[in-house]
Structure 1
Amino acid sequence: MLSFTRSVTRSVTRTATALAAGLVFTLAACSSESDPFDGIPAFPVDAPEVTVLNEGENPVRLAYRDQDNADGGEWSTTVAVSTGVDQHTEAPGTAVDPHAPAGGDLDTTTLPLSVTSGTAPAPGDGEQDAARQVDFTVGSGKHSDLAVGQDVAATEGFLMRWRAGEDGTVSTLKLSSPADAPERGRQAVEPTLLALVTNAVVFPQQPVGVGAVWTVASRVVGDATLQRTTTYTVTAIDGDSVSLDVSVAEQPSQRSLRIDAQAAGALDGSDVEVESAETTSQGSVVVDLAHPLPVSGQVAATTRLVYSGGDGKARVVQDTTRAVQYGV
């Protein structure tokens, strides 16, 4: 159901929180446990569809090797995830621009991360065979809303683990929240971590070189109603360093819905269809194959969905912006 508000909302955060509600368990107070994820069920992540459009020049096999690092795979980085939703109705007969704007009013959560990579152990309940296991520990983070930032900082110690292949495909996910984490802090940190899964760079199985282009199609993690296709273009390869241009296109998986909100005016109680969907995006990242996340760069995308109840009816215009910045 669409929520009819003109102002920026945190619906993306609430969606991710709802998805993760069954995943997040409080950390046990007992320090004798060897693995903080013991007893936490694994959440399966849909496998993406990878399509190579151009193999590029002098193709080589690109694969993560962070599980083989001599330092045990320990690494520190900082990420910033921004989200914003603007939604309004347009009166019948009013022209609506279907093109998505670039950006908008955003809430930004910034998290320092301590990351440890290693060879994935044998799969447990609900897990699949995987080459790599990556653990993320959240430090004292920040938020663009100072009041929320206090709760984000108090969520220090939040954990995430994923199991993945050498190509970067994440197969399962676990989340674990500190027992005393404020609810508002969790609601900011959880979708920030899930955004890292959605934006994880996945390489093709076949060799690719400079100029190569491939697409990765998958669901947005934390939003079952949105499909994302990410297009990667290799601009440089220097040893383990791979530079990529990134573009994003998003489409709703549900093409119709019923509205139940008085604020919708003439559309209240009616069925609406997706009249148009368009994404404006820009992005470039640098991947070090010895680390599980890009070491620098940013990917930002705004998707405009226009819902229509038919001729003579008002339209609903929804702009959703998501951006991830690495190595802040």
Structure 2
Amino acid sequence: MTVLSSSPSSANATARCPGSPGRSGSARHARSGLLLMVFAVALSALGTGCSARSETTAEAEGTEPVGIGKEVTMPIPAVTTTVVDAGDEPRAALRPVVAPGTAQQVTLRTDHHIEQQINAQAVRDFSPPSVTIPLTAQSDANGVDLTLGNVTSPDPALAKALLPADGSQVGFDINELGAITALRLEPKPATSDAARAALEQAFYQAVYQSIAFPDAPVGEGAVWTVRQQVSGSVPLEQVTTATLTHREGNLLTIHLNVVQTPKSTVWHLPNEAGQLEIVDYLMHGAGDITVDLGLPLPVSGAVEVGGNQTYRDPQSAVTLRQTLRTQVQWGA
């Protein structure tokens, strides 16, 4: 989050540099440098959700970030499910049957890899450190409440920053089809901005790689799609194709195939730095998860989504290429 609070003033100053069709190489280089900085800012904010802007503004003004010491709720876009193949007989409705007060211990691990390149410059790695989050989940009438254990990361600085987050509260509001409708975050007051951002990013990734059940009865081999908008600097439509590969009582094994496509032809850069044309955009992934209908969270599994994008600055000859890979894992 540090780069977010320090970049707007310099970015806006550079953006006001004059330019014309015959501008000098130094001006073009300055534009390239601006885009590199703005791109880095945008990538650092990727997946951190709607609270990033309020925290950044507070940091810039030297005040306490919004949400410190209180719960912040972020609504999640609604999903639409469609049955493609109802599968084999016998068929039955897939519904969470989690009794209030049911407890579960599970570990969430997220890994987000980001590389970007401007023109022929060297590839730069903006990957945030992975995080591993032990969770104690307890179901309630609206979904599940989560208590964080000792969150760890291979990055020493982030690992230290995450120590005060032990005991923080997170929650998912879940509807009758198992779709997450809201994400609730309440980090401990001593949790730093860097740790808060890492946790928020991790849970957003987990939310968008979760699964909703179809409304109609299905059996083994059933296939259904889950359509959802993914919020972010580039709004995406995500279509997840789910296949029920095995069912034994309440225990389901589901294969997921994920495709993301942009809903716009441009990317509006942060800090009013202009926009980039989306030249191409390919994001695809797959994985398998095991779900117990009697427990609030997945039992195990992993889903990985990745791909490449290319963007062009209409004000210059600058082209930006980006490679992304996100993995979400559930386990003991």
Task: Name the TM tier (shorter chain).
Answer: 0.7 to 0.9
Write the letter of the residue equivalent to 1:168. G
Deviation at 1:253, TM superposition (A): 2.6
Give runs of aligned pairs for residues 253-292 of structure 1, distance below 5 A: 253-257=263-267, 272-292=276-296
1:139 aligns with 2:143: no
Alpha-carbon distance in structure 2 between the residues aligned to 1:134 and 1:140: 19
Which of 297, 310, 320 in structure 1 is aligned with 2:324?
A: 320
Q: TM-score, normalised by structure 2?
A: 0.74
- Corresponding position of 2:123: none
Distance 2:223 2:133 in 1: 31
> 2:93 is matched with which residue: 38, 44, 61?
61
Structure 2 residue matching 1:63: 3-state secondary structure: coil
Are the aligned partners of 2:233 and 2:267 in contact in 1 as well (CA < 8 Å)?
no
CA shift for structure 1 position 307: 2.0
Distance of aligned partners of 1:179 and 1:327 in 2 relative to their CA distance in 1, 3 Å threshold: same
Conserved 8 A contact 2:303-2:328:
yes
Query: Does the 8 Å CA contact 1:65/1:166 hold for their aligned counterparts?
Result: no
Question: Hey, what does 1:33 align to over in structure 2?
Answer: none
Q: CA deviation at 1:86?
A: 1.0
Is the CA contact (8 Å cut-off) linking 1:296 and 1:326 kept in structure 2? yes
CA distance in 2, matches of 1:46, 1:260: 22
Change (3 A) 1:272 1:44: closer
Deviations along 1:203-245, one digit per CA (max 9) or x if unpaired, are 0011111111111111235666233221111110110111011
Partner of 1:116: 138
CA contact (8 A) 1:74 1:114 kept: yes
Q: Does 1:107 align with 2:102?
A: no
Matches within 5 A, 1:97-246: 107-120=129-142, 133-220=143-230, 225-246=235-256
Displacement, 1:62?
Answer: 0.6
1:128 alignment counterpart: none
Separation in structure 1 between the aligned mates of residue 93 and residue 149 of structure 2, nearest angstrom:
34
Match 2:83 to one of 5, 27, 52: 52
CA deviations 1:102-154 (Å, max 9, x no partner) are: xx96631100001000223xxxxxxxxxxxx2101111111121221111232
Q: Which runs of 5+ in 2 are unaligned?
A: 1-10, 12-33, 56-65, 121-125
Report the Cα distance in structure 2 between the residues aligned to 1:206 and 1:214, rounded to whole angstroms: 10
Give unmatched runs, 5+ long, in structure 1.
Answer: 29-39, 92-103, 121-132, 262-268
Greater strand share, structure number: 1
Alpha-carbon shift at residue 258 of structure 1 (Å): 6.1
Indicate the percent of aligned positions where both proteins have the same amino acid: 25
* Structure whose residues are more often helix by fraction: 2
209-218 or 73-82, which deviates more = 209-218
Structure 1 residue 81 and structure 2 residue 81: aligned?
A: no
| 1:293 equivalent in structure 2 | 297
Q: Deviations over 1:12-69 (max 9, x none)?
A: 56244451356973447xxxxxxxxxxx464322111212211111221111112x16
RMSD, aligned α-carbons: 3.1
Alignment deviations for residues 176-202 of structure 1 (CA, whole Å, 9 cap, x no partner): 111111222112111112222222210
User: 1:298: how far off?
Assistant: 0.2
One-letter amino acid matched to 1:56: G
Report deviation, 1:286: 0.7
Instruction: Report if aligned partners of 2:49, 2:201 keep a CA contact under 8 Å in 1.
Output: no
Letter paired with 1:291: L
* Alpha-carbon distance between aligned partners in 1 of 2:268 and 2:204, rounded to the nearest angstrom: 28
